[in-house]
Chain A
């Protein structure tokens, strides 16, 4: 392409010009890029590690699943105290001084985690199970204080839980109906029924995975899988892909901040990173008008290599 450009030089109005065929150049670029892309696609394919489902989680680590479900009911999970846009909590709300866009935006994706993740799916299963319906009734009839005691005691007992044939057992104690409820939830999860129940919202078609993803995210199982795939935040996860495939490498600068203090030390790290990236992107857009930034190309004469033939 370059040699073709050199052909047919001419002078006009003091500026030497050369013949140029844009369509030919685009055609060649498309052909060459297609060969490269075809080669990469044929020989390297593309990544497709299956997602974690509620079912695969409950089968692989029923104790973690039960602990998480207990936290959801007790209101002690990350989601329970998250805050906007899911609920009115404050646990994950990020603010820098008076700047708190997360609070300002408010709740727009309502998530009622005890009912959405545990009680409502169990109620559906209880439609033909009188014993389960009775246990749900007992749980809901108890005072909040009593429910809290059951959950605290069960959470402590779950730390030494034993798993046999996919069933979770703990030492005897006063846990009320909680172990029975969660044992049934584990059963629903292990059969795959809970994956569907978490998506149902009086509509046949569903494309919103907010609830199951938040539920899975509250557990500890998926973080281990993600670590094995080098996808966690401290592994530069945002720009990585599963396996050895290139990911969103163009996010390297965004991901870099998460590896450095103060971004990885303050509770408002995400907001700080986003603000820094918005500022840097704005500066990049406005480079032509910013003294210093627009002068760097003159100070670092890479242009002499680019125009060395001129």
Chain B
């Protein structure tokens, strides 16, 4: 796909339902998750417990995560019932589901990094499941430093990379046509070229 066609200026007519908005809102919420998280990380993990400004940014982070997940789940189920993996779009679906799974791990490490009672008790509860799988010695949910590092650096990089790959797949394969009306893949940049 040429760079000049990275952003679409036309879409097939059937792209006309609110279901298509769920994915865009998920990305929008992810932007607010990252930005509010950057502010929280810049001031350190204690800041939000000690200042009203910190508490406000934590609240922004908290609620943007909630919005992110609500719309990601709506997007996932919407795409499922549209059978969006048809006609060569399986990689798009698979990257999306992996993104969902990695986002759950990222959110989990975020909850563990809160440094409050919820974080404390979730860690105590979760350790048995993590230890049972044999990874507890390497992914120690009782180790705040490890969980915080994963939450603010490695997992966000993974999510942003996966979301980028997901969007590139959507652009390369085009939007899936309606069930029962399959046509040649509606790759809009190719349509535009002709």
Contact = CB atoms under 8 A, between A and B. Distances in A.
A37 B15 contact: no
Interface residues of chain B: helix, strand, loop or mixed (majority):
helix
A271 B132 contact: yes
A294 B129 CA distance: 31
Interface string A7-32: 00110111111111111011001101
A248 B108 contact: yes
B43 to A, nearest CB: 15
B137 A108 contact: yes
A303 B59 contact: no
A101 B136 CA distance: 10
B134 A101 contact: yes
B39 interface: no
Chain A contact patch, size range? 35 or more
Interface in A155-199: none
A303 B179 contact: yes
A26 B27 contact: yes
A17 B178 contact: no
B37 to A, nearest CB: 13
B33 to A, nearest CB: 9
Contact of B125 (A229, A237, A296): A237
30 contacts: A5-B15, A15-B183, A15-B191, A16-B13, A18-B12, A20-B8, A20-B9, A20-B10, A23-B7, A25-B24, A29-B27, A34-B32, A37-B67, A41-B60, A44-B63, A46-B62, A49-B116, A84-B131, A85-B137, A101-B132, A101-B135, A102-B131, A107-B137, A208-B146, A209-B142, A210-B140, A226-B117, A241-B118, A288-B90, A303-B82
Given A2-B21, A106-B137, 17 more contacts: A17-B188, A20-B8, A29-B24, A33-B28, A37-B60, A37-B67, A42-B56, A109-B140, A210-B143, A231-B121, A237-B122, A237-B125, A238-B122, A248-B111, A274-B132, A307-B17, A310-B16
